[in-house]
């Protein structure tokens, strides 16, 4: 189930965002299943500093949701992707985290917005700079390509750019 949901997430993100990375370490203790970035537009130019990041966590079942892992919602937009029955159960039990949009596969297999707790207009949950998050995306993609591990786990350093 997790892999099936992850494939749907990746497909949706690649259609909507300029850059997409999987399993990104945003600091030594926090990893997000997917991170995507789209630069802002100002006049005729793309502006990186005005871009938007989406953080996506994928949960396949209640045990996965309650595992204590994977609640890195630190983007401008934050998505929780899960089966519809899990989303409904979480909503009914008031367990959905504030600041997230919950996406579930529809009957045709496409991800659709089910619940919106994003608090639009109240600001972003982003804690890091654009440069720092782009660096994390780049380093994780590079480390997977090189298969040598990523800079945060190897050095224990935070990005203070």
- DSSP assignments along the chain, one per residue: -HHHHHHHHHHHHHHH-SEEEEEEEEETTEEEEEEEEEEEEETTEEEEEEEEEEEEEE--SHHHHTTS------SSEEEEE--HHHHHHHHHTT-SPTT-EEEEE-TTS-EEEEEE---TTS-----S-HHHHHHHHHHHHHHHHHTS--HHHHH------
Q: Is the pLDDT of residue 93 over 90?
A: yes
pLDDT digit string, tens, across residues 81-92: 999 999 999 999
Name the average pLDDT for the chain: 84
What is this structure's pTM? Answer: 0.82
- pLDDT for residue 116 is more than 50: yes
């Amino acid at each position: 189930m997790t892999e099936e949901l992850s494939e749907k997430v990746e497909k949706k993100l690649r259609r909507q965002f300029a850059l997409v990375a999987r399993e990104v370490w945003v600091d030594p203790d926090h990893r997000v299943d997917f991170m995507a970035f789209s630069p802002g537009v100002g006049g005729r130019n793309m502006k990186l500093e005005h871009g938007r990041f989406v953080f996506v966590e994928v949960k396949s079942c209640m045990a996965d949701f309650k595992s204590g892992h994977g609640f890195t919602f630190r983007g401008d937009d934050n998505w929780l992707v899960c089966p519809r029955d899990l989303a409904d159960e979480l909503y009914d039990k008031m367990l959905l985290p504030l600041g997230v949009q919950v996406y579930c596969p529809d009957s045709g297999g496409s991800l659709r917005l089910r619940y919106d707790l994003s608090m639009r207009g109240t600001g972003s949950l982003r804690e890091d700079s654009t440069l720092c998050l782009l660096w994390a995306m780049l380093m994780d993609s590079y480390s997977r390509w090189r298969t040598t591990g990523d800079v945060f786990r190897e050095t224990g350093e935070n990005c203070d750019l």
